[in-house]
């Protein structure tokens, strides 16, 4: 870890992600000579490459704007690079390196042949017109197209990148290369997208929670659930919680959270999705629209008593104090829809408290799994049915859960440490492929 720290100064999120995985892997590989001899851990913590580039675009007032774009290709040991693109003013190289590192293990856990990558820009899509977003996306792809391809690197969406942005980027890629290929996932259904991709991350996180509960003879039915975020992952998590008989009572955004003790039912969720995606509205307005709800400015929802928590907004949104409060208030399970939403203090607390705790790399892998299926459909030039894909999603989430059981069992107890389970299961496949290649 000392070496990783020296080689990556000023990159706290990346170091945090490496440390979290290394804590489990050190222990696992201690007697496995070949992993040491071939420096597998050290090599996995060094991205294959980091591409950084200038993105110039013109705003509606004819001002020239300059942003920075990145693509971090962490590992293609088990398949072409794969991972989302994030547009957010807080994006840094450190954040994208942590996400690409995590993505490598997550993709491995799905059982599908996908390597790990992540990209993005410090561009802020909020408050921009459609034309500004289009010009930015076109400029971003004008550089990115050199580094991606359906057998090289297949980006998808993430924070700030949804169907609109994917459409603009796909269109520009097609225009530059004169090729219609499955170079991006999360595409519109009219041009090679897959059914169920939009819902997959949020639904998948709830399926994972359902798997954890059913292993201990429990269920989501009747559970009060606290959810953070109000974007793609959060809203679909709420949808699936409700379908399975649970009651979701919170949603949030970067300005605060709403608490609706009556539950966010289908009608309220429909309003939220429209309000957030079509009108780019704030979650505070939920409380104006639905009088039973209250908006808490500048706060996160972890003080609301609940049975289960689904952090679905962003990284490091649960710290040690939040984790303690959740457990003290009766929370028995946490499934992370977001990437690394819990900091190391929080993780240590959840681990010590022995609650059912599913880290993002396991619980939110449904999204990338569906992206994998989108790639398969594009290659075969076929479209699978909704029923088929819903079943595939459930099967993938069950498979990831069961892979965690293989390495997550705590000796002498019935408890499963899902972080350890997911870190080791994700690592082994990538590490063994690296061993097969020798030193490359």
Residues binding ligand NDP (CB under 6 A): 157-160, 201, 229-234, 253-254, 312-314, 337-339, 364, 367
- CB 416 to ligand NDP: min, Å: 22
Residue 74 DSSP SS3? strand
Shortest reach from residue 171's CB to ligand NDP, in Å: 20
Q: Is residue 370 a contact partner of residue 232, using CB atoms and an 8 Å limit?
A: no
**Residue 55 Cβ, how far from ligand NDP at the closest point, in Å?**
19
Residues 143, 172: contact at Cβ < 8 Å? no
- In the bound complex, which residue of the shown chain has the CB atom lying closest to ligand NDP? 231
The minimum distance between CB 368 and ligand NDP, in angstroms, equals 6
32 in active site:
no
Nearer to ligand NDP, 236 or 407 (CB): 236
Is the Cβ of residue 149 or residue 162 nearer to ligand NDP in the bound state?
162
Q: Which of 118, 128, 223, 247 is catalytic?
A: 118
Asked if residues 263 and 247 have their Cβ atoms less than 8 Å apart, the reply is yes
- The least CB distance from residue 185 to ligand NDP, in Å, is 9
Pair 336, 309: CB distance under 8 Å:
no
Q: Are 287 and 295 a contacting pair, CB within 8 Å?
A: yes
Q: Give the strand pairing for 333-335 and 308-310.
A: parallel
Other beta carbons within 10 Å of 255: 13
Q: How far is the CB of 291 from ligand NDP (least distance, A)?
A: 22
State which H helix or E strand residue 433 sits in. Answer: helix 418-437
Note whether 234 and 202 are within 8 A (CB): yes
How buried is residue 197: exposed, middle or buried, by Cβ count under 10 Å (0-12/13-18/19+)? buried
User: Smaller CB distance to ligand NDP: residue 77 or 96?
Assistant: 96
Pick the closer one to ligand NDP by CB: 211 or 232. 232
Could you write out the DSSP letters of every residue in 119-134? Answer: EEES---TT--HHHHH
Shortest distance, position 341 Cβ to ligand NDP, whole Å: 7
Q: Which C-beta is closer to ligand NDP: that of 369 or that of 416?
A: 369
Q: What is the Cα–Cα distance from 56 to 45, expressed in whole angstroms?
A: 31
Return the number of the residue (247 or 361) whose C-beta is nearest ligand NDP: 361
Sheet holding 333-335, edge to edge: 247-248, 224-227, 308-310, 333-335, 356-358
- Gap between the terminal Cα atoms of the chain: 22
Is 432 exposed, middle or buried (CB count within 10 Å of its CB: 0-12, 13-18, 19+)? middle
Instruction: Return the residue matching tokens 């299961």.
Output: 425
- For ligand NDP, the closer of residues 210 and 364 by Cβ is 364
Alpha-helical runs (H) found in 155-262: 163-177, 197-215, 232-243
Per the DSSP assignment, residues forming a β-bridge with 44 are none
Would you name the residues annotated as active-site residues? 118
């Amino acid at each position: 870890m000392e070496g990783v720290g020296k080689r990556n100064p000023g990159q706290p999120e990346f170091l945090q992600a490496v440390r979290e995985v290394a804590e489990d892997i050190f222990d696992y590989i201690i007697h496995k000579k070949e992993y040491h001899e071939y420096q597998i851990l050290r090599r996995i913590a060094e991205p294959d490459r980091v591409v950084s580039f200038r993105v110039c675009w013109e705003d509606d007032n004819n001002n020239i704007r300059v942003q920075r774009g990145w693509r971090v290709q962490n590992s293609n040991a088990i398949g072409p690079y794969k991972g989302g693109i994030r547009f957010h003013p807080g994006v840094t190289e450190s954040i994208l390196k942590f996400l690409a590192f995590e993505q490598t293990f997550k993709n491995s856990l799905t059982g599908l042949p996908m390597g790990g990558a992540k990209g993005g820009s410090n561009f802020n899509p909020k408050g921009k017109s459609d034309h500004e977003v289009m010009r930015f996306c076109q400029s971003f792809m004008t550089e990115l197209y050199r580094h991606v391809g359906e057998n090289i690197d297949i980006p998808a969406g993430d924070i700030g990148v949804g169907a609109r942005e994917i459409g603009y980027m796909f269109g520009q890629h097609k225009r530059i290369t004169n090729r219609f290929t499955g170079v991006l996932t999360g595409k519109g259904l009219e041009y090679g997208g897959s059914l169920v991709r939009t819902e997959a991350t949020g639904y998948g996180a709830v399926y994972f929670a359902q798997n954890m509960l059913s292993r201990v003879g429990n269920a989501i039915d009747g559970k009060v659930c606290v959810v953070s975020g109000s974007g793609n992952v959060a809203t679909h998590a709420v949808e699936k919680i409700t379908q399975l008989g649970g009651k979701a009572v919170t949603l949030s955004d970067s300005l605060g959270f709403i608490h609706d003790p009556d539950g966010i039912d289908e009608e309220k969720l429909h309003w939220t999705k429209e309000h957030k995606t079509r009108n780019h509205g704030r979650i505070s307005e939920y409380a104006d629209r639905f009088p039973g709800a209250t908006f808490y400015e500048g706060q996160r929802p972890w003080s609301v008593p609940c049975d289960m928590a689904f952090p679905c907004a962003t990284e490091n949104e649960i710290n040690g104090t939040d984790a303690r409060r959740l457990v003290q208030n009766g929370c028995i399970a946490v499934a992370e829809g977001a990437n690394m939403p819990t900091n190391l203090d929080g993780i240590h607390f959840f681990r010590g408290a022995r609650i059912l705790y599913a880290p993002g790399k396991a619980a939110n892998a449904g999204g990338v799994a569906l992206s994998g299926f989108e790639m398969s459909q594009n290659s075969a030039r076929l479209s699978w049915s909704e029923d088929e894909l819903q079943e595939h999603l459930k099967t993938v989430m069950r498979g990831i859960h069961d892979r965690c059981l293989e390495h997550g069992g705590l000796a002498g107890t019935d408890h499963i440490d899902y972080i350890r389970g997911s870190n080791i299961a994700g690592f082994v496949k990538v590490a063994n492929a690296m061993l097969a290649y020798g030193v490359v």
